[in-house]
A and B are shown apart, each in its own frame.
Chain A
């Protein structure tokens, strides 16, 4: 699966999996809503500026605009956001694949529940089309595991294990980033995710290099 161009390898708005897609749709709603509200406020200021002096409807401004308007908008937005957040949570399901990611200064080590002897560095293998739960932790400072085209990010905190669900729609390669500032090598703290179609995934688990 070839990518359109390099600009999109880290792009949040070019999703390649269900989690990132849900968030990209959310972004579009947020952008349109924000633009409309900004336009409304700008128009209101222009109207207010040019209006000849005289009493205004105080309650209209304070209660109508200051209170009712934001409450209605925010209620809808909050509900939408909470529902999307719920959908992204790693719930139990039979086809979930479990892997682990261990962050360190300045590399990532990945291990696989279905292939306990395998460990890869800076390259995470997953099956395409199946949900993958990544158990993330750190051995030194705080890092963060982020594959922008597949899902949001989750921190690697020493002493804790945080689980992130990622899924790729189709096989392919996806760029990953360490997304929490961790010192001198931060810029290059990157990794790659390769999503295999089923046969290649099984081959990987058996120990072959697909």
Chain B
């Protein structure tokens, strides 16, 4: 078989549908990655236009360009769009496009989930744009502090767009994070052990786990605030036992890791690009892995530094001041490793390297001002001033946008297969960098002169006029620079000549394929034994194309890739991927109806949409379940492996594991909130407590035993018992709710509803899963394919049982104690 014949056959198997239809039915990561990035750039432009409006308004004192009602929407949406609809999706798009190629796989772990996440992003983002165009956008600041953002300060629909729309978009982030985690751990080229992975894969793994543990507190907070706004459940109202500070804790438990979620992928790009530009290896791979992991975990201990002025005692603040200074250490380790790599190598001033130099200049300043505001007394003066605005733009633009632009120019030849057409790059670079510093450097000083953030205008005579005028003019210079970059990229994509396959001399597998990439990535999956496979074996691309790797033949006429052992990279089993389908988009649309019903208060729509989503999910799962195993299949190079249908830990089990990590963080945040109420909130204890009788406890125990044992009993009958167990647990929950009839009375009652509601919801999920296993047995599916699905059901049933006991226990414990 010739390489060309192989290419044609694999392309036919893997290609997305042609034309418009392809956009709606694609499950291919290359296409979806490009789609993510394109939509993210669109949102960047929208956010950028909003920034231009801000700077136009603030160019002169007492400007009448925008009144406060509109200005408040403009700056809120600027931050919201940049953080949620641009920064995170750029990481998603970038990781979705690049990871399988870097890792030597043919796609991500869950292709239809990628598509589902993309459409949730598009539909949720569209909700936000709609609100902006109709002048009903959220207007309480991008972190939406209640009571200002709640019914007291924002009685209209504006805040609901944020709470509901952003939660919808976050489905996309969680989905991508689960996928990235499972893909990096299991979907690699055979022989690529964890310690031989490209360094970007480590960063992506850390970032993905951070998303799984960082987003749930925000999702919880959004749900609580929306429940307060829609149903008067007083989570953040002090008079009824709530506390506005709880929102701040939940938000910043998300918000601080969020900025490291944004920074780490950029650091991963730098760790990948800089050595190639310097024509040498990265100085300390192991050190960088340690630093990335350290940064990821340490960043979860900083959140209160956004709350230094809220009245928390000094000792509490001091813990967070210490942790916030500490986090500079792993950052410095990475920084000096990069500089050491430059020193070790022979760096060339190509366009990606220019942007990396801009990163150094800008991010170091941002990091230094960050250390400044980690010192509590200094923050007491500059908090909520333009000093902070300047700091955050230095770290976000310097630490994310500039490295992403380096990545854009570095991987552009890969996306397009072409050289750049004009030489606009350097001009655009200088316009953006000079424009950026002109805009934000002096704003530090404006903050020190007392200019608060978020003011819609300012009086003359406070020494701010010149600074703001310079900032506004420079911001337009920066905008022109970005426009030139856009033109550069668009023209290159459309018009320029074909370039060489590997213009930079890269070392990783992404450069071992034809560019632009084929739908199948690799004609055969290579055996890898070095960290820099292309430098170790420059003939590797040809060998891959000749089919000398694994899965180089297409006799089974379907989409296949390999999974490997987590640590060693030894090949484990074959995964069969789905064909093109519009199902994920349809399911995302039905999910959207659920959110739309909540938003428009058309509450009849909500249960209908929920049933629709559940029905579609069951249909999806049923289609996934294999009836019969096919035994070991040959995969090339003399090896035969079973498929995912016949293993005890299929991809779905791993996905469930990490989804439950996110879920567990959500539940943990709920327990945290509950404890917070008990210790800090004013107007506690509540007037009355929920109780559970001995009968209730007995029924709960019975339910838990049935559920947990049933899933371990083997075959259908056990799972049927497990269903009964989950129903019993749910019934106990309903009984507790019966005793707490009004969740609007006190935050305790409201929290009990959320705790018990969470428990009941998870019994429903577990019941459905066990029901599917029972149905499977009735439908006569083979015994050899039973293990995987049963273990997945077991995971969820165990989780549901444990959390139900904790949730009900938390609800009734105070009553039992008093």
Give me the interface of A with B, judged by CB distance under 8 Å: 6-13, 20, 22-23, 26-27, 30, 34, 37-38, 41-42, 44-45, 47-49, 51-56, 58, 61-62, 65-67, 69-71, 74, 77-78, 80-82, 84-86, 88-89, 105, 140-142, 144, 148, 151-155, 157-160, 162, 175, 177, 179-187
Contacts and interface: CB of A to CB of B under 8 A. Distances in A.
10 contacts: A7-B461, A8-B449, A58-B283, A62-B333, A66-B333, A81-B375, A85-B314, A162-B310, A181-B145, A186-B452
Interface in B308-346: 309-311, 314, 317-318, 321-322, 325-326, 328-329, 332-337, 339-340, 342-346
A7 B311 contact: no
Given A7-B449, A52-B346, A153-B384, 14 more contacts: A8-B449, A30-B375, A49-B347, A53-B279, A61-B284, A62-B340, A65-B332, A65-B336, A141-B145, A154-B311, A159-B239, A180-B384, A185-B68, A187-B68
Contact of B450 (A11, A62, A157, A186): A11
Contacts of B382: 12
Contact of B454 (A48, A74, A84, A181): A181
Interface of B: 68-69, 72, 140-141, 145-148, 152-154, 237-239, 243-245, 279-280, 283-284, 287, 291, 309-311, 314, 317-318, 321-322, 325-326, 328-329, 332-337, 339-340, 342-347, 357, 360-361, 364-365, 368-369, 371-372, 374-385, 448-458, 461-463, 681-683
B337 A66 contact: yes
Contact of A160 (B365, B374, B682): B682
B313 to A, nearest CB: 9
Nearest to A34: B368
A41 B309 CA distance: 32
Given A6-B461, A88-B377, A152-B309, A177 B452 contact: yes
B244 A158 contact: yes
B287 A62 contact: yes
A181 B280 CA distance: 50
A154 B457 CA distance: 23
Given A67-B332, A77-B371, A56 B340 contact: yes
Given A38-B368, A74-B328, A142-B148, A58 B284 contact: yes
Contacts of A86: 314
B133 to A, nearest CB: 21
A41 B346 CA distance: 19
A181 B141 contact: yes
A157 B365 contact: no
Nearest to A42: B361
Given A10-B450, A155-B311, A183-B148, A48 B343 contact: yes
B448 A27 contact: yes
Contacts of A182: 148, 153
A99 to B, nearest CB: 17
A82 B339 contact: no
Nearest to B456: A187
Contacts of B284: 58, 61-62
Given A70-B329, A181-B141, A187 B360 contact: no
Contacts of A22: 377
A10 B462 contact: yes
Given A56-B283, A61-B336, A153-B384, A12 B448 contact: yes
B318 A77 contact: no
B72 A184 contact: yes
A157 B372 contact: no
A186 B455 contact: yes
B384 A85 contact: no
A187 B455 contact: yes
A34 B365 CA distance: 8
Given A11-B450, A12-B449, A162-B311, A141 B321 contact: no
A27 B309 contact: no
B553 to A, nearest CB: 44
A53 B345 contact: yes
Contacts of B148: 141-142, 181-183
Given A27-B378, A66-B335, A181-B453, A74 B384 contact: no
A159 B321 CA distance: 26
B501 to A, nearest CB: 25
A155 B309 contact: yes
B63 to A, nearest CB: 11
B377 A84 contact: yes
A9 B450 contact: yes
Nearest to B344: A56
A104 to B, nearest CB: 12
Contact of B309 (A42, A77, A84, A144): A144
Contacts of B360: 41-42, 45
Given A23-B381, A155-B310, A13 B448 contact: yes
B583 to A, nearest CB: 43
Contacts of A7: 449, 461-463
Contact of A67 (B237, B333, B682): B333
A157 B244 contact: yes
A75 B342 CA distance: 29
A30 B463 CA distance: 22
Contacts of A65: 332, 336, 339
Nearest to B288: A62
Contacts of A142: 145, 147-148, 244
A177 B450 contact: yes
A115 B35 CA distance: 67
Nearest to B353: A49
Contacts of A42: 360-361
Contacts of B385: 179
Contacts of B454: 181, 186
Contacts of A105: 153
Contact of A56 (B147, B314, B343): B343
Contact of A6 (B141, B239, B314, B462): B462
Given A38-B368, A77-B325, A179 B337 contact: no
Contacts of B245: 157, 160
A20 B382 CA distance: 12
Contact of A187 (B328, B334, B457): B457
A154 B376 CA distance: 12
B7 to A, nearest CB: 38
B340 A48 contact: yes
Contacts of A8: 449, 463
A34 B237 CA distance: 42
Contacts of B318: 82, 85
Which residue of B69, B314, B328, B452 has the most chain A CB atoms within 10 A of its CB atom? B452
A10, A20, A185, most chain B CB atoms within 10 A: A10
